[in-house]
Amino acid sequence: MFGSNKNKIFTERKDTERSLISETVSIDGTVNSSGAIDIAGLIKGPVISSEVVIKDTGSISGTVEADRVEVHGHLDGKISALNVVIGSTGVVKGDIEFSNNLRTEDGADIEGFVKKSSSAGKKDSKPVGDFLFSRSSKKEEKAKKNGKPSSTVNKDTEALV
């Protein structure tokens, strides 16, 4: 009687649910969600989600990729989104790349470049780990030890050498 409905409840949940990172929570690392995230606490690291809302008390130090981003707290990093709203208490120290709409309220503080792009927003094609972390080659590790860059840029052609 009760067991048959129990499994049905969990399988019928949709990705439209919101997650809350409360004021008492601090996360050091990548946050990746298919649903919406309300952030009232602190995140140090990239955030990838369908919707990100940084509340007045919220703070992110890292990049944000989403379909919709709303900032009422602090963001120290790049935004890449379809739609962006910077509220009157919002502070963004980083570049904003959007493809549909950008709205700023009176009092919004932006320190960075703003660019309208056709490709801004959440990227579903790659898993998070593919572009965040990579192993160094032996050549790069040796160059690091010697204090030299592992690759240089040809100033005439702007190509990596």
Surface-to-core class of residue 27, CB atoms within 10 Å of its CB (0-12 exposed, 13-18 middle, 19+ buried) = middle
Cα→Cα distances 60→79, 152, 157, Å: 11, 32, 37
Q: What dihedral angle (degrees, nearest 10) is formed by the CA atoms of 121, 122, 124, 129?
A: 130
pLDDT beneath 50, residues of the chain: 1, 6-13, 15, 125-137, 150-151, 157-161
Surface-to-core class of residue 28, CB atoms within 10 Å of its CB (0-12 exposed, 13-18 middle, 19+ buried) = exposed
Residue 121 is predicted with a pLDDT of 63
Radius of gyration over alpha carbons of the chain, in Å?
A: 20
Residue 119 is predicted with a pLDDT of 73
Round to whole Å and give the CA distance between 61 and 23: 15
Q: Which letter does DSSP use for residue 153 in this model?
A: B
Instruction: Look up the pTM and report it.
Output: 0.67
Round to whole Å and give the CA distance between 77 and 92: 7
Count Cα neighbours of 1 within 13 Å in the Cβ-side half-sphere.
0
Residue 85 is predicted with a pLDDT of 98
Residue 5 is predicted with a pLDDT of 52
